[in-house]
Amino acid sequence: MLRDHAEDTDITIIPEERWLDPQEFFLNVNAAEDTAGKGVLHLNYHAALHSRWGPEEVKQAQALGYPVVITYHDTYAGTKDQPNSDRAKELCELADAFVVHEPVDDLPRAIYWRQGVLSAEVPMAFDNPTGRPLVGTCGFDFPWKNFDLLAEAAKAAGWGVVYVGGNLTADRVKQLEAKNPWSLFMTGFRDRGEIVAALAGCDATAFLYTCYNTGTSGAIRMGMAARKPMLLMRGCRQFRDIYEADDLRSLCTWMEFSKGDITFTLSTLERGYGMHYIAEHDSWERLGKRYAVLYRGAGMLVDKEDWEKA
């Protein structure tokens, strides 16, 4: 998505999975004599994937002449009860630019951009013989995503559920069908455009997450891209970037962890257009232009007004 929206005549993005190991990166660039002035190193940083890139490796890359941009996904709020890690603080101080997806109080050099939202897709037409309204969700079937609760609450409200992608097994499909016989399933890994089209074919989307994981949710950007009313669980840490944004919070429907509350919300849901605003405001088209400004200015202090205009 970054390549689709940040590349242009003078910016080419080259993803290389071998460079998850920094020593592979240094071997490659030294062999090619690809050093100062020949590129920006962008670490799309998640601790589970980039744990081998520490402060010393970042310094080594900078010593070779590479400005280092880090998009850091393992963030917390940065408050006294939710401090960011020492690794995050050290990398933030070292990086030429350090991008986060939620507000952070203890990383003063961080640039806060929410995750990007995909372009709209033609809504998918489902074989829905009962004509019941459909609420869609997507992602892996982890317990804290509460797929069972969604099935039960939707059935009580007279709605069907569309589950898209992830790791749903045949046995798990049977379990969810038993809770809501009007459920529809698109199992396995799916193209991102197909996921958006499926959710857009629903009457609403819902993400009933209850977790305190680091960072922000990527799955709900699919719901935003679907541009249908979106139901979110109040109190989920991964949703705070939306909940604490005064211009976005009221555009979503927030619920308590209660079958009754979710059922009532679905039963009384009105069609709204708030997701259209969020999807355009946080679009990958806008975010890609911001990254392009950041790449061109990497290695120097980029004026906030420059990327805000992008």
* Alpha-helix residue ranges (DSSP H) falling in the chain: 2-6, 22-31, 47-50, 55-63, 86-94, 147-157, 170-179, 192-200, 219-226, 240-243, 259-267, 274-281, 284-297, 304-309
Which amino acid is present at 58? V
What's the confidence (pLDDT) of residue 279? 87
Q: What is the CA radius of gyration of the chain?
A: 21
For residue 243, what pLDDT is reported? 93
Q: What are phi and psi of 103, to 5 degrees?
A: -65, 135
The rounded distance, in Å, linking the Cα atoms of 26 and 16 is: 13
Return the CATH fold of 134-281: Rossmann fold (3.40.50)
- pTM listed for this prediction: 0.87
Contact 76, 83 (CB under 8 A): yes
- At 255, give phi and psi (nearest 5°): -130, 160
Segments making up each domain of the chain, as ranges: 2-114+283-309, 134-281
- What pLDDT is stored for residue 31 in this prediction? 67
Q: What is the pLDDT of residue 36?
A: 53
What is the full per-residue pLDDT of the chain (310 aa) written as tens digits? 999 999 887 888 988 889 999 999 998 887 666 555 578 999 999 888 778 899 999 999 999 889 999 999 999 999 999 999 999 999 999 999 999 999 999 999 999 999 999 999 999 999 998 889 999 999 999 999 999 999 999 999 999 999 998 889 999 999 999 999 999 999 888 999 999 999 999 999 999 999 889 999 999 999 999 999 999 999 899 999 999 998 899 999 999 999 999 998 998 888 777 888 888 889 999 999 889 888 888 755 456 566 566 5
